[in-house]
Structure 1
Amino acid sequence: MTRYLALILTFALGAGTGMWFVSYPVRQGDCPATQAERKPLFYRHPMGAADTSPTPKKDEMGMDYLPVYEDELSASRLVNIVPAKIQKLGVRTEKIEKRKLVRSLRAPGSIQVDERRTYAVASKYEGWIQRLYLNATGIAVRRGQPLLDVYSPDLLAAQQEYLNARQRLETLKKRKGHARVAAERVAANALQLLRHLDVGPDQLQQLQAPNAVPLNEMPLLSPVDGVVLEKKAVEGMRFWRGDVLFRIAELSKVWFVADVFEQDLGWVRQGQAVLLQINAYPGREFRGRIDFISPNLEPETRTIKVNVEMPNDGGFLKLGMYGSADLTAAAPSESLALPESAVIDSGTRQVVLIRKGEGVFEPRNVKLGRRAGGYFEVQEGVAAGETVVTHANFLIDAESNLKAALDGMGVAGDRDKPAPVSKAENATSENRSERR
């Protein structure tokens, strides 16, 4: 508050001379006691350069740095705009409050085979392919269906060993003792060896019949219901122990492999329900669950593979079909949030404008978190209940930058500029100067 002293006009007669004493209004902040109580936050360059100092100092021209106090700094951060201009700019505001953020995202992808449901049909012995029943990929097969007939000396030797062990057991059947027990063990081991060599149940039944003889050709059976993905077997070829002849995939369940961008990975979790749309079936929706999230990031696309397990009843879903996955995820708890339109992002900082009063706004730096549903999660910078500008904030920010630039140059504003002088008035003043 400005405190005025009375205007004193005193004529000093006793001293022999007359003097007029004039007292000017004194502001409370100019009092020495008040100045001593206020401590500067820092000192700024007297010419407006971007240089500050925590202690008093002089510039290159010997001028003292100017102190900056807390109240002055706070006032300089505020932007004052007349109500008429606010209405013209179309300023809109919204109160900051806690929300439960919900994010919906869409990821493209395609139908792929479930790697856990693929089977390799490999030989466990050497031999030759006598007859090939599946001569193309993509053919559906059933469990136990013959894929090919083979001739193998290893299989013939194993069959003969079993028949010899069974014949010896028949000889010792009426006898008791260790010899019979040993014969039973040898026959059981020989039969188990045939099972390990993938001899089918029908062939084993033939070998167990009375007067059985070794089979020259033995079928190789499919271990699962599925579709042939790969066929390396060719009729008449020789194969070796361990060679993969077929690859079969069981397609009752498939994977939808979606490409999720790295910035969206925080909203994806294992077991999450997914709504799927396949381009081949427009208007039809499929459902699945996230089964696996790849630990590797694709450097070319900056995406991560997410495998969604989905049923394939009826076999409608074909490998390689394109589609999209729609995921909806909610944050585990409520958090302070503000609208996306309220954030002014310069690349190095994020700023919002807080309404402090009628026509008064304060730019404030904020630290943002996740983004979802048109809102940003706020970690630092604002408090619940404050009002933030959501529309025309860029215009207000421009006004704030202009004010800061004018204050830095020592210009108060357009209202402090002298009125322009017309050419006629300028000429008249020049004539008067010449006459003088």
Structure 2
Amino acid sequence: MKKYIIYIAVLAVGLVFGYVLFGTSSESTSSNHTEHADAKPQMWTCSMHPQIMQPEPGDCPICGMDLIPATAGADGLALNEIKMSENAMALANIQTIIVGNASATDGNTMSLSGKIIPNEEANAVQASYFEGRIEKLNVNFTGEEVRRGQLLATIYAPALVAAQQELLTAASMKESQPGLYKAVRNKLKLWKLSESQISQIETSGKVRENFPIYATVSGTVSEKMAEEGDYVKQGQPIVKVSNLGTVWAVFDAYENQISQLKEGQKITVTTNAYPNKEFEATISFIDPRLNTQSRTVSVRATLNNNDGILKPGMFVTSKVNISKVNDSTSQITVPASAVLWTGSRSLVYVKTNPNEPVFEMREVTLGSKNGDNYTIVDGLSNGEEVVANGTFTVDAAAQLQGKKSMMNTENSEEIDATNHLAQVERITVPEKFQTQLKTVFDDYMTIEKALVNDNAETPKIAASALLKSINNVDMKLLKDEPAHSQWMRLKKELKNAADAISKTSDIKIQREHFVHLSAHLIHAVKTFGINQKVYVDYCPMANNDVGAFWLSTDEEIRIPYFGASMLNCGEVTDEIN
């Protein structure tokens, strides 16, 4: 019995040791398997180029170094978040605001842009009442004032000569054939000859070869439609006369503004020619048709112009009082500069960490535009902090880091930073606008070539010229809202970078601002075009190893960010035709 007790004790001790040695290991292994099953796939990155993210080990596509495991969440950022340095924030002049509920009384006006045109209801066309040749035209130029009853033209009319012969013959037989006599006189009246003119022909017994045409209205000649010596048909227009005592102001309203407009609504109109003068008007017509190209409807108001100070063709702006919502409701508004509008999406950048420059791209739903603010229907909450100035720069930084951006909406760990501009869509604009943008590009190239040659004085001078060229780009040539919004934001960023370069002779600082200047000009050239083939170059080592782009007219790489010390770093990533 004692022997059996010893055997049992040894067996128990063995079981305990076996559990300690192998049981915990098995649990640990099982636990590890579970943890690995729940973990996200391992990503691989380059120690020199952290923007590179690949799902498998291998070589860095930029420098060829072995990829290392990327520490998931090492920076504490979500995939759609971006962190910027304080220096980059200062260079780009990035500013944020805290959004809040705006009461219905805040910004209860809406701005519309348009132009002055003649009042078509007051237009008149002076036509020839009979067929013939214009012997004398008394209207010398477009814009000339005419008065009702004024002699406009003298016409030789062979048919009228024959009709006068008939009149003289009928007058000699009016006692015996009064019906014929009356019919001939009425025929001449249909050709707009007055009773006195007909009686004068009859009394003199002479046939007139040339007949006058008199103005039937007073106004301004808006178009000459015939010249001396022209042979005109009966009813053919000679001149068009516009009475400019009243004019029309025609505005374009976008789809999200239509609900705020109605006929009979009071508006205030201002013009650049008289910035301190306001004109009161009433909306008289809203076009029932939507322009499918610009997504706008025409809104018309009639203005008194007795003083003649409003000229057709003038650009005007109107302020429209919009209907107020109930006091119990409120709405979130943001500055227009905070919104990136891609046509199908509206985006803002929200500061997610109040103590650090960490930003997240957020898609929002826009309401109406009131003045310089957009109403946010969905996507933002009261008290959130958004980027109000420098939004494009934050988006460019997100693109470089392969994060969500205006051009890329996917979680793009596998997207190479050099492809971030590939999805910029071309907007069709007038050739005149492209020519003006080409001048901006030429000034940019002067700066670039100087930086390539380590010259710090030329960029300072050329940047001042660049500022003037940017200001000379006529935004009024752009017809639709997407193009308008794109250029407004790009213009602001281009001016900020050019202004900073013009104020320093430190080539290091010039090159830092040239990074931003290049990013936004590439965006502008790809969006609008300049009627010239240019190359987009990229160097991953520039901008403190974050990478930077620039434009060039040659395929040969000559980098402006290092000068002679590293002249050929980089590659051509795109061609803009």
Q: TM-score, normalised by structure 1?
A: 0.51
Q: Aligned partners of 2:124, 2:40: CA distance in 1, in Å?
A: 74
The structure that is strand-richer by fraction is 1
Per the alignment, residue 202 of structure 1 pairs with: 196
1:366 and 2:359 matched: no
Using the TM superposition, name which of 98-107 and 322-331 deviates more. Answer: 98-107
Q: What is residue 119 of structure 1 aligned with on the other side?
A: 125
- Counterpart in the other structure of 1:8: none
2:366 touches 2:375 (CA, 8 Å); kept in 1? yes
- In the alignment, which residue of structure 2 is the partner of 1:248? 241
Q: Give percent identity, aligned residues only.
A: 18
Change in CA separation of 1:280 and 1:366 when aligned onto 2, cut-off 3 Å:
closer
Map residues 2-401 of structure 1 onto 2, 5 A cutoff. 15=13, 43-45=40-42, 93-95=98-100, 102=108, 104-105=110-111, 107=113, 109=115, 111-115=116-120, 117-122=123-128, 124-127=130-133, 129=135, 138-162=143-167, 164=169, 170-171=175-176, 183=179, 189-204=183-198, 206=200, 213=205, 215-216=207-208, 217-229=210-222, 230=224, 232-234=226-228, 237=229, 239-242=231-234, 244-256=237-249, 267=257, 271=263, 273-278=266-271, 281=274, 283-288=276-281, 289=283, 295=291, 309-318=302-311, 322=314, 324-328=316-320, 330=322, 337-340=332-335, 350=347, 353=350, 365-370=362-367, 371-373=369-371, 375-382=373-380, 387-390=383-386
Q: For the Cα contact (< 8 Å) 1:106–1:325, is it kept in 2?
A: yes
Is the contact between residue 368 and residue 376 of structure 1 (CA under 8 Å) also seen in structure 2?
no
Give RMSD over aligned pairs: 6.4
Displacement of 1:224 after TM fit?
A: 1.4
On the 8 A contact 1:342/1:390 being kept in 2, the answer is no
Q: Which runs of 5+ in 2 are unaligned?
A: 1-8, 21-27, 46-51, 59-71, 82-94, 404-412, 414-577
Q: How many Å separate the matches in 1 of 2:322 and 2:101?
A: 19
Report deviation, 1:252: 2.2
Q: CA separation of 1:353/1:17 partners in 2, compared to 1, >3 Å: closer, same or farther? A: same
Counterpart of 1:434 in structure 2 is none
CA drift of 1:107 comes to 3.7
Inter-partner Cα distance in structure 1 for 2:173 and 2:221: 43
Deviation of 1:376 (Å): 3.6
Give, in whole Å, the separation in 2 of the partners of 1:94 and 1:46.
37
> Which string of whole-angstrom CA distances, capped at 9 and with x for unpartnered residues, describes residues 147-183 of structure 1?
344443321322343555576664256xxxxxxxxx3
Does the 8 Å CA contact 1:342/1:352 hold for their aligned counterparts?
no
**Contact 2:132–2:155, Cα closer than 8 Å, also in 1:** no
Distance apart, 1:323 and its partner CA: 5.2
Q: Retained in 2: the 8 A contact 1:91–1:389?
A: yes
Match of 2:518?
none
Gaps of 5+ in 1: 1-10, 23-29, 53-57, 61-67, 80-89, 174-182, 409-436
String of CA shifts for 1:297-342, please: whole Å, max 9, x gaps: 79xxx9999765422214344556x453233363797885343499
Q: Give the conservation status (yes or no) of the 8 Å contact 1:12–1:19.
A: no
Alpha-carbon distance, 1:200 to partner? 3.0
Tell me the SS of whatever aligns to 1:366: strand
Bigger share in helix = 2
SS of the aligned residue for 1:313 comes to coil
Q: Deviations over 1:275-294 (max 9, x none)?
A: 33355556333234475879
CA contact (8 A) 1:276 1:323 kept: no
Q: Does the CA contact (< 8 Å) of 2:124 and 2:217 recur in 1? A: no
Q: Which amino acid aligns with 2:316?
A: S
Cα 1:330–1:160 shift into 2, 3 Å: same
Instruction: Note the C-alpha offset of 1:233.
Output: 4.9
The answer as to whether partners of 2:332 and 2:376 remain within 8 angstroms in 1 is yes
- In the TM superposition, what whole-angstrom CA distance separates every residue of 1:229-249 from its partner, at most 9, and x where no partner exists? 438554xx5744356544433
Against the structure 1 CA distance between its residues 310 and 134, is the aligned structure 2 distance closer, same or farther, given a 3 Å change threshold?
same
What letter matches 1:388 in structure 2?
E
Q: Is the 8 A contact 2:270 2:317 kept in 1?
A: yes
Change (3 A) 1:103 1:188: farther
Q: Deviations over 1:48-88 (max 9, x none)?
A: 99689xxxxx999xxxxxxx9xxx9xx98699xxxxxxxxx
Residue in structure 2 matched with residue 413 of structure 1 by the alignment? none
Change over 3 Å in CA distance of 1:324–1:205 after alignment to 2: same
1:218 Cα shift? 3.1
CA radius of gyration, larger in: 1
CA–CA separation in structure 1 for the residues paired with 2:291 and 2:191? 38
Q: Do the aligned partners of residues 114 and 214 (structure 1) sit closer, same or farther apart at CA in structure 2, a change above 3 Å counting? A: farther
Q: Which has the higher contact order (CA 8 A, sep 6+)?
A: 1
Q: Following TM superposition, by how much is the alpha carbon of 1:215 offset from its aligned partner in structure 2, in angstroms?
A: 4.9
Aligned to 1:84: none
Change beyond 3 A, Cα 1:319–1:214: farther
8 A Cα contact 2:126 2:216, kept in partner: no
Is the CA contact (8 Å cut-off) linking 2:271 and 2:315 kept in structure 1? yes
Is residue 274–residue 326 contact of structure 1 (8 Å, CA) maintained in 2? yes
Aligned pairs, number? 337
Separation of aligned partners in 1, 2:378 and 2:350 = 14
